Amino acid sequence: MRPNKLWVSDITYIHLEDRPVYLSLITDAYSRMIVGYNLSNDLSTQGCLKALNMALKSLPKGIELIHHSDRGCQYCSYEYTERLMEYNIFISMTQHPDPRENAIAERVNGIIKQEFLETCYPTFIKAAEDVKTAIYIYNHERLHSSIDMKTPFQAHAMNGELKQHWKNYYALKKKEVTMT
């Protein structure tokens, strides 16, 4: 177990008073650190590509990495997949439109939106400022029960197993169903 083994990606929307804007996030699955992000006015590939380019700046040379996403057209685009292949990054995509197939990315979206961002912003500039602040706080100050009560920044500097301080209620429920 180590950072930069698996990155998960997803897009979520943020409301402005007159329209939605789109936040592309790339999260390291081991450390839960957001390694790349971009807020954009549309759902074109460019927003995701900018988040990917940000993430690639911090990727150590010679690392074997898997990039996981849903099957959104942005992640399937020629430009995006070419960039991943340029860095010898393995491409993984969900098989079904089930959020559990990209659960870490979905969870990070929820944390950023529910804990750090407003429900509606007056301007794109204000939303972008708050996104930048939110990601800094998320990465450097927020402790996570899924990574041994460390911040993502602290966990990203580590290797080895990180103790999880939470129960997997989905697995427990599934186990109960099979026992009956």
Burial class (CB in 10 A: 0-12, 13-18, 19+), 74: buried
Query: Which pLDDT value is given to residue 169?
Result: 62
> Per the structure block, which two tokens stand in for 64?
């074997």
* pLDDT (0 to 100) of residue 154: 96
Q: What's the mean pLDDT in 33-51?
A: 98
Mean pLDDT, range 31-57, rounded to an integer: 98
What pLDDT score was predicted for residue 130? 98
Indicate the range of 35-49, 84-98, 158-172 predicted with least confidence. Answer: 158-172
Question: What's the pLDDT band for 1 if we cut at 50, 70, 90?
Answer: confident
- Bigger pLDDT: 100 vs 16: 16
pTM, full prediction:
0.89
Does the domain made of 6-179 have the CATH classification 3.30.300.30? Answer: no
Give the phi and the psi of residue 34 in degrees, each rounded to 5: -75, 115
Instruction: Work out the pLDDT band at 162, boundaries 50, 70, 90.
Output: confident
Q: Is the pLDDT of residue 174 over 70?
A: no
pLDDT at 79: 97
CA distances from residue 131 to 34, 47, 90, 125 in whole angstroms, order as listed:
12, 14, 28, 10
- 6, two tokens: 């698996």
Torsion sign across C-alpha atoms 44, 48, 51, 57: negative
Domain ranges of the chain: 6-179
136 CB-near residues (< 8 Å, 6+ apart): none
Q: How many CB atoms are located within 10 Å of the residue 172 CB?
A: 10
